[in-house]
Amino acid sequence: MRTILITGPGGAGRTTVAAATALAAARQGTRTLVLGTDPTDTLGTALGTPTGPVPRQAAPHLTAWRPDPATGFRADLAALQDRATTALDLLGATGLDPEEATPLPGATELALLRALRDAALADDAHDLLVVDLPPTPHALALLALPEQLRRYLRRLLPRERQAARALRPMLGRLAGVPMPAEWLYEAAARWDVELAAAEAVLADRDTVVRLVAEPSPAGQDAVRTATLGLALRGLRTDLLVANRVFPEPTADTRLAGVIAQQRKAVEEWRESYDVRTVDHLGRDPRGGDDLTTLAVPTVNPRESRPTVEWPVTDHLADDGVLVWHIPLPGAARDDLDLIRRGDELVITAGQFHRIVPLPSALRRCTVSGAGLRDGELCVRFAPDPGLWPTAR
């Protein structure tokens, strides 16, 4: 199943484009699921039919779904309280009823990741999944969440420590402090599996990100920032949709300056992106008829995009180094920072930050330098004589 994640700056019309994309695919006979994230149901407004926690048919071959974060949060809270009953009793604490629990910050993001995973795993029901993500800054943080949370779990509850489960009671008596209970490790393992499934959906070769922006100076800045953030996450962008483009010519001379500005932005975008334009209707599109009028890009759910590669090239014979190539389009040299920490590389690019594990060959090397050229960060690694195998 192909997955299209649609995002863009706030107010750019990404929800409308997501709804129109899903509807266009459905009318071509593609079994499509469109997933909404806005609690105010802007997706339902665009489609002309309400959406909610129960998937419903919005049109032939089109299902719309807007997950409810409260449902999953209450279920998780109830399960946690059941497993921690002994500890709560020792503390004299009174458990919460599911009905009185209000989702905490982050529950919406976790609900969306869970829905994304469930929809992708049920690929026998749909051929295409279209996800209306939040605005770009929020979307980038959301897309980074599975990898970050899995890293936290590995650091806080390392798998190798689980081998000593039988020794934990004795270690607790010796240390004078309680050791983590069995259920905690079981919960961590379950969370890791769920997060890994969501991470696999994002890394799948048939998952792409589609950017939506209005062609303007602000839109250009937003697209540039989004492109860098997506590249650092290793996510693929298939198209840039220039939305609400005024058609030419127009009798309204007051729009001449805006039209010229839009044309300039689109021309500059075409130098770096596959750009598709969607005309301004002169009103907010509402319902199937308006969405059909929009010339959104066509969708081929069987089309496969190449994965984003961060290759390591061997220059040992000539320069004595291995070079790790990391594509970072739009990055500025002054905004880049690298820190080697153990077997990980901490990369900061502008406002974005990522900790990535080193490929196995580079773990036996030391960083000897780095450079940015043509939107690609090249990190040079020199073999560590104490760790690198020598020919005999």
SS3 per-residue string spanning 302-337:
CCCCCCCCCCEEEEHHHHCEEEEEEECCCCCHHHEE
- Does residue 352 fall inside a structural domain? yes
- Cα 65 to chain centroid distance, Å, stands at 19
Measure the CA–CA gap between 323 and 383, rounded to whole angstroms: 11
The verdict on 223 and 361 lying in the same domain is no
Structure tokens at 286: 């509402």
- Does residue 186 fall inside a structural domain? yes
The verdict on 152 and 274 lying in the same domain is yes
Instruction: Specify the pairing of strand 312-315 against strand 321-327.
Output: antiparallel
pLDDT for res 196: 87
Measure the CA–CA gap between 267 and 215, rounded to whole angstroms: 10
For residue 334, give the nearest of 344, 349, 317 by alpha carbon: 349
Structure tokens at 375: 């939107």
Number of other CB atoms surrounding residue 105 within 10 Å: 6
Domain region containing 159: 2-68+104-293
Give yes or no for a contact between 33 and 65, defined as CB atoms under 8 angstroms apart.
yes
Question: What are the residues facing 338 on neighbouring strands?
Answer: 347
Residue after which a domain boundary falls, among 266, 293, 320: 293
The verdict on 216 and 335 lying in the same domain is no
pLDDT in tens, the chain (392 residues): 889 999 999 999 999 999 999 999 999 999 999 999 888 899 999 999 999 888 999 999 999 999 886 666 556 655 655 655 655 555 555 666 666 556 556 677 888 888 888 887 776 789 999 999 999 999 999 999 889 888 888 877 776 555 455 545 544 454 444 545 565 667 777 778 888 888 888 888 888 999 999 999 999 999 999 999 999 999 888 899 999 998 876 666 677 888 899 999 999 999 999 999 999 988 889 888 999 999 898 775 445 555 678 999 999 888 999 999 999 998 999 999 999 999 999 999 999 999 999 999 899 999 999 999 989 999 999 998 877 766 55
CA-only gyration radius of the chain, Å: 25
Give yes or no for a contact between 281 and 290, defined as CB atoms under 8 angstroms apart.
yes
The percent of the chain in helix, strand and coil, each rounded to the nearest 5, is: 45, 25, 35
For residue 224, give the nearest of 257, 276, 265, 279 by alpha carbon: 265
The verdict on 182 and 320 lying in the same domain is no
Q: 247 — phi, psi (to 5°)?
A: -75, 155
pLDDT for res 100: 58
Measure the CA–CA gap between 201 and 116, rounded to whole angstroms: 8
Q: Could you tell me the CATH number of the domain that includes residue 374? A: 2.60.40.790
Give yes or no for a contact between 66 and 37, defined as CB atoms under 8 angstroms apart.
yes
pTM: 0.85
pLDDT for res 103: 57
The verdict on 204 and 331 lying in the same domain is no
Structure tokens at 143: 């897309």
Number of domains in the chain: 2
For residue 297, give the nearest of 281, 276, 274 by alpha carbon: 276
pLDDT for res 77: 53
Measure the CA–CA gap between 367 and 316, rounded to whole angstroms: 14
- Does residue 305 fall inside a structural domain? no
Structure tokens at 74: 């209450």
The verdict on 127 and 176 lying in the same domain is yes
The verdict on 126 and 239 lying in the same domain is yes
Residue after which a domain boundary falls, among 241, 266, 293: 293
- Does residue 97 fall inside a structural domain? no
